[in-house]
Structure 1
Amino acid sequence: MVACVGLVGGLTTGCWAEPSAMPAVRDFLIAWEVGNYTAAAKRTIGADRAQVSAALGQVRSQLDAASLRLALGVTGQDSDAKAIDKKGDEADANFSVKVDLGENGQPWTYKGQMHLRRKGGKWKVVWDPSIINPVLKPGQRLAVQTEVPPRAAITDTQGRSLLQKVGAYNVGVFPGGLANPQRTLDELARQVKIDGGRRLDSERLLGRVRSAPPQRFLPLLTLQVPEHNGLIQRLNQVPGLTFQGVRVPIAPVYAPELVGTLGPATADRLQQVGAPYQPGDTIGVSGVQLLQQRRLAGTPTVRIVAQDPAGKDTQVLHAWPGQQPQEVRTTIDPGYQRKADYALSGVTVPGSLVAVRPATGEILAVGNRATNGRNLAFEAHYPPGLTFGIVSAEALFAHGGMTQSTKTTCPGTVTIGGLTFTSRARPAGSFANQFGASCRTALAQLGGKLDAKTLVAEAARLGIGKDWGLNVPAFTGSVPPPANDAEKAATMVGEGKVQVSPLAMALVAAAAQNGTWKAPYVLKDLSKADQIQPTNLQSEAISSLKKLLSSSVRAGLAQPARVSGDVVGVAALPTVTENGRKKEISWFVGSRGDLAVAIAIEGHVSAAKVAAKFFTAQPGRAR
């Protein structure tokens, strides 16, 4: 009995004699489940078999179902109900349906019923659309409705959105009006090339289109103007596509590399953000928009509905409520951000600027210029050059027995462990004077006062290479342990294998100003900074370091940044080699009051002058 009731095996049976209705029910359900709709239709009476076959075959496409499972009998509260109730030549059979909706939501289960009649000694299923679902009537169909809530805002410290409304087109279709859905969607996917040639998944789009209400507009992608005018013109030639002009808040007002952008849901992107987002959705593709996709977008409400031939809903059969979007609050201060953008406005090579509040670790401004969408302010890997002298000097004050007045020499060249360092020769003088004059050879020689382990440990105490708990991508820096005296001397002057980001150096400057290194954060409600232990530095070392940085900004490369007496900092011009070509990185790292800043520019541009422009800027409102 169990073996015969289970829906497995072929479409024929020998377990019961024909007077039983069980074989007819079982064979009908098996044929429907495995997609043999012609065989299922042969077990029915009361309607044209081709019509029955078509109706059964459309169920999967109308629901965009990943799978359909049918079982004789019912489960749950009605589990005691008879599988088949036979009265003479009439019978009623109960069965259960489980539809895996895949990306559309959780599985949908319900109980079904069919009526059978014995005709000519054989049981047949009396066809009725209610077999597909008990509420369906002739001419009606199933459809999946997805209600996407408005995306939440990413806001600044004043609670204002970091996104502005811009003109765009929602490109989509009216599913019931497509003469050839496959051709339309294939051509759409062919025209829309994303991220180096990846396209939309036309097959998955086709499933969504077939399951959508036929008479309602289904948006498939949003294209901003004028950025996508060329693509819009090409898509205008694709039969079946409809364009609806809209104004939507999708363009970052500032800090676009941090805020991120929106774009079509390709297969690769869907793997990142996961269900319930589907092909045709507009999702975050970079920055905070991607990292906080689920929070910003919420999740859609999905409904299974019955519709009449005119596309009017007759009944909601099942619904999965979505989650409401939540805004993401950032620490970006609009005043400082406008200053950062203004300061970098004249830079024609890749340049980045980051400003933090030393007392809290809040990131107040993130500026990137000519970086091709990269957030180099957080993620660049640059040698810091003599700006790393802040770390080296703090280590010397704390562990090397140095003071500001310690007499040091500044020869034109010095060789340490076989590695030669050069600098403009200066007379012997105090450490403060040599540091202020950006003397590489003086600092390289002083590496002899520190062991390698202490130097690396002090860099970590200033946050370099440490886990910041920051919930956006950032490079915290790297200071590999020097293997010998030559590597230690190179580390002292921020060369060799030392790598940092502007954010890492801004935090070093913040620690030098505040006396405590604090973990940075840029997303208020999601910050993990309070889980990172602050590092208190030696007060005597910080006092000496402040005076050192004050002397540094009075002369040399850092001098242009001294727009007021409370500006301190250091500048540098280390060289890197990329693809066989040498390139300078112009640095300024320093602070002014309760504001620490780091600027890095790929080229022979004075970062100190950019810092001065930042400190003194009074740009107008961005909007």
Structure 2
Amino acid sequence: MRHVRRRTQRALASSLALVACGATLTACFEEPSPHEAVRGFLVGWQTGDYESAARRTDGDPAKVARAIEDVGVHLDAASFRFRIMGLRHTGGASEADFKAEVDLGENNPLWEYDGKLPLHLVDGHWKVRWSPSVLHPQLKEGQRLAVSPTTEGRKPINDRNERALQTDEVLHVATVTPSKLDDPAKLVQQLSEVTGFPQDRLLRQVLSSPPNDPVSLVTFGRGRYSQIESKLRALAPQGLRIERVTQPVAPASPVQIVGRVSAVTAETVQQLGGPQRAGDSVGQGGLQQYYQDMLTGSTGTRVITVDLKTNEQVAELHKAQGRVNSSVSTTLDTGVQAAADAAVSVGAQPAALVAVHAPTSEILAVGTKGMNQAKDALAGKFPAGTAFSMVAVDSLVKAGIDAKQKLPCPTERSVGGAQFQQVGAAGGAPTLQSNFANACVTALASLARRVDAKALSDSAAAFGIGATWQLPLKSFPGAMPKVNSDAAKAKVIAGQNVEVSPLSMALVAGAAASGTWKPPVLVTKPTAPPPGAAATPAPVPASEPIQLDAKSLETIKSFMRAGVTRGTAQAAEVQGGQRVHGIAAPALGTRGNNRTKFAWFIGWRGDLAVAVLLQGGEPGDAAAVAGRFFQNAKAPS
């Protein structure tokens, strides 16, 4: 029975690298006859024309052709490549030296070994004197080659305290022992029909493995296994075993940031190609996907000879370590994450909460309800609303506007033709600080004529709006349009033409708390993207830390304190404890195809800076989410 024949198309497209000392072999030597035999043998072997190679030997052509082909099957080799290194000729005998390069796949380096081809004259023709040692010097009669893969278990993604962000999950592994199979091809065919895995790929794993070693063919999660359990168990009489293994692959919170892990499926084998074997694990989304190669490493390989009678190993011919895998360390804090999850779980509105460590801009937690932690909390584009007035205050103070200035808060106001409407408390002539604390859009917008466009842009930049950074997951640093009119400036102050993400607003709060804006950090090890991974966004230098103006920062802090003591953000301090700073404000934007009301809270307590975004609800609701978070969260030391 023939198995998994290596066809010519799998050989290298380029011509055989039989290089010695010139463009042609005959140019290197005085007598061409033995050279043609050597060349014909190696060309046939390399290109998969095993019958042609066998005819260049003195052995039985059918048996020799099968033996040469079996070398490729037993090594599961992607290709062979040969070079003739020299030829010695004395009388009626010759011996050629050659170097073999074997591609064992699995991202392994090429296996190189030196071989010899003894030749003698048979009926006036040069023939390779056949024995198994022609294929490898240490291969003897009654032996075969085999490949024993070695793999390390998938490494974890850890939080800032090196605690794994995965929990144990039971997986089911379809396993065989090759020496106990009566008909490997039949079993593999049926397993392929049940699972969808490529039949030839499964068979190569069986035929290339040491006969007495268990071979893991397919790994299933609980859901997939329950669907086909009865069909798999029906294959037990043919030698298929199902083993239960426990692996730490179920993601802990934040699930969409960490990412899920699954067994390689029939679909992912086809999509990924390359070194993945049935039974490997693959990251799906989040950090697990981004750091896939680093977490899994690559399969190491041992090439051995096996005794055909005992099926036991005789000798080790080659050992490749494979790329070492390693864990990933993040800035996430399990305790802070638990507080974030609990805070957003209350209430009916979809919510996102991002918490950062103010002095370092390290991301501590990402909690969501009805929103995606990666696509919405990190990379979402939402209207900033009057929460952005915190940034605008920086330019207003620099323009000389007095925080105690009386400033009416009418229900409606027009600035440069742009219309603004205050929802909620309005009227009277409170101070700028009071209007800020209560998110009065009509009062704040009226100051547009008092500040120039460049000052607004500079303030936005100082708080990181539009900055560049490199995170392993897509994120949005915020964007502000070019401002060229009073109406546009008023909309900036009111946050109506400014887009931000919860992450970018958490960084704004962290900058106000610490006095310095810094780009965010999510992963501390490795310090650079893994090989082949594209940095997101584009691989451009990250923005440098920005020191905020001390005078305006003092005013901002007093305004933010007023927000929780007598403004719309009071719920944050009521539930979160003393010394909270924050602002709670409405925003209006589009979600999908619908005009949607949002509510923001941005603020801090100590070194914990947070942004909360609610879809629907009121500013006070967002402040309450922050309050619940502050109540249970503790900043890392």
TM-score w.r.t. the length of structure 1 is 0.85
Matched with 1:124 is: 127
CA distance in 1, matches of 2:36, 2:258: 62
SS of aligned partner of 2:358: coil
8 A Cα contact 1:114 1:131, kept in partner: yes
The one of 85, 108, 112 aligned to 1:109:
112
Matched with 2:157 is: 154
Question: 1:423: how far off?
Answer: 0.6
CA distance in 1, matches of 2:232, 2:17: 57
Deviates further, 92-101 or 205-214: 205-214
8 A Cα contact 1:437 1:556, kept in partner: yes
8 A Cα contact 2:155 2:325, kept in partner: yes
Paired residue type of 2:54:
A
CA distance in 2, matches of 1:522, 1:15: 61
8 A Cα contact 1:302 1:321, kept in partner: yes
SS of aligned partner of 1:426: coil
Describe the shift of the 1:43–1:468 C-alpha distance in structure 2 as closer, same or farther (beyond 3 A).
closer
Matched with 1:458 is: 459
Question: 1:451: how far off?
Answer: 2.2
CA distance in 2, matches of 1:4, 1:160: 52
Deviation digits for residues 538-586 of structure 1 (CA, Å, limit 9, x no counterpart):
1111111111112222345422212233112112232322443222323
Q: Give the alignment of 1:463-542 within 5 angstroms.
A: 463-496=464-497, 498-527=498-527, 533-542=544-553
Question: 1:42: how far off?
Answer: 2.4
Matched with 1:426 is: 427
Deviates further, 254-263 or 168-177: 168-177
CA distance in 2, matches of 1:457, 1:494: 15
Describe the shift of the 1:303–1:403 C-alpha distance in structure 2 as closer, same or farther (beyond 3 A).
farther
Matched with 1:361 is: 361
CA distance in 2, matches of 1:165, 1:368: 23
CA distance in 2, matches of 1:15, 1:505: 73
CA distance in 1, matches of 2:615, 2:178: 51
Paired residue type of 2:61:
R
The one of 71, 82, 98 aligned to 1:70:
82
8 A Cα contact 1:19 1:121, kept in partner: no
CA distance in 2, matches of 1:273, 1:441: 55
Matched with 1:42 is: 55
2:371 maps to 1:401: no
Question: 1:504: how far off?
Answer: 0.8
2:185 maps to 1:183: no
Question: 1:461: how far off?
Answer: 0.9
The one of 578, 587, 594 aligned to 1:574:
587
Percentage of identical aligned residues: 37
The one of 236, 241, 258 aligned to 2:232:
236
CA distance in 2, matches of 1:526, 1:16: 55
Paired residue type of 2:458:
A
8 A Cα contact 1:187 1:238, kept in partner: no
Paired residue type of 2:442:
T
8 A Cα contact 2:469 2:543, kept in partner: yes
Question: 1:201: how far off?
Answer: 6.2
SS of aligned partner of 1:290: helix
8 A Cα contact 1:71 1:97, kept in partner: yes
2:216 maps to 1:219: yes
Matched with 2:251 is: 252
Aligned positions, number = 590
Deviation digits for residues 399-448 of structure 1 (CA, Å, limit 9, x no counterpart):
x2122112222221122333311114321221011112211111222222
Describe the shift of the 1:271–1:381 C-alpha distance in structure 2 as closer, same or farther (beyond 3 A).
farther
Question: 1:598: how far off?
Answer: 0.8
Paired residue type of 1:100:
D
Question: 1:154: how far off?
Answer: 2.5
CA distance in 2, matches of 1:360, 1:380: 22
SS of aligned partner of 1:589: strand
CA distance in 2, matches of 1:576, 1:379: 16
Describe the shift of the 1:374–1:363 C-alpha distance in structure 2 as closer, same or farther (beyond 3 A).
closer
Describe the shift of the 1:129–1:579 C-alpha distance in structure 2 as closer, same or farther (beyond 3 A).
same
CA distance in 1, matches of 2:455, 2:204: 62
Paired residue type of 1:535:
I
CA distance in 2, matches of 1:458, 1:271: 50
Paired residue type of 2:515:
G
Paired residue type of 2:407:
T
8 A Cα contact 1:502 1:598, kept in partner: yes
Q: Give the alignment of 1:608-619 within 5 angstroms.
A: 608-617=623-632
Question: 1:337: how far off?
Answer: 1.6
CA distance in 2, matches of 1:515, 1:4: 65
Describe the shift of the 1:518–1:214 C-alpha distance in structure 2 as closer, same or farther (beyond 3 A).
same
SS of aligned partner of 2:383: coil
CA distance in 2, matches of 1:448, 1:19: 94
Question: 1:101: how far off?
Answer: 2.9
Structure 1 gaps, min length 5: 8-12, 75-81, 191-199
Deviates further, 63-72 or 266-275: 266-275
SS of aligned partner of 1:284: strand
Matched with 1:385 is: 385
Matched with 1:78 is: none
CA distance in 2, matches of 1:464, 1:4: 57
8 A Cα contact 1:223 1:232, kept in partner: no
SS of aligned partner of 2:335: helix
CA distance in 2, matches of 1:423, 1:144: 74
Matched with 1:195 is: none
Question: 1:214: how far off?
Answer: 4.3
2:596 maps to 1:593: no
CA distance in 1, matches of 2:17, 2:544: 66
SS of aligned partner of 1:116: strand
Deviation digits for residues 446-499 of structure 1 (CA, Å, limit 9, x no counterpart):
222222222122111111211234344322111122343333322221122x22
Describe the shift of the 1:233–1:557 C-alpha distance in structure 2 as closer, same or farther (beyond 3 A).
farther
Paired residue type of 1:134:
P
8 A Cα contact 1:163 1:251, kept in partner: yes
8 A Cα contact 1:201 1:266, kept in partner: no
8 A Cα contact 1:18 1:123, kept in partner: no
RMSD: 3.5
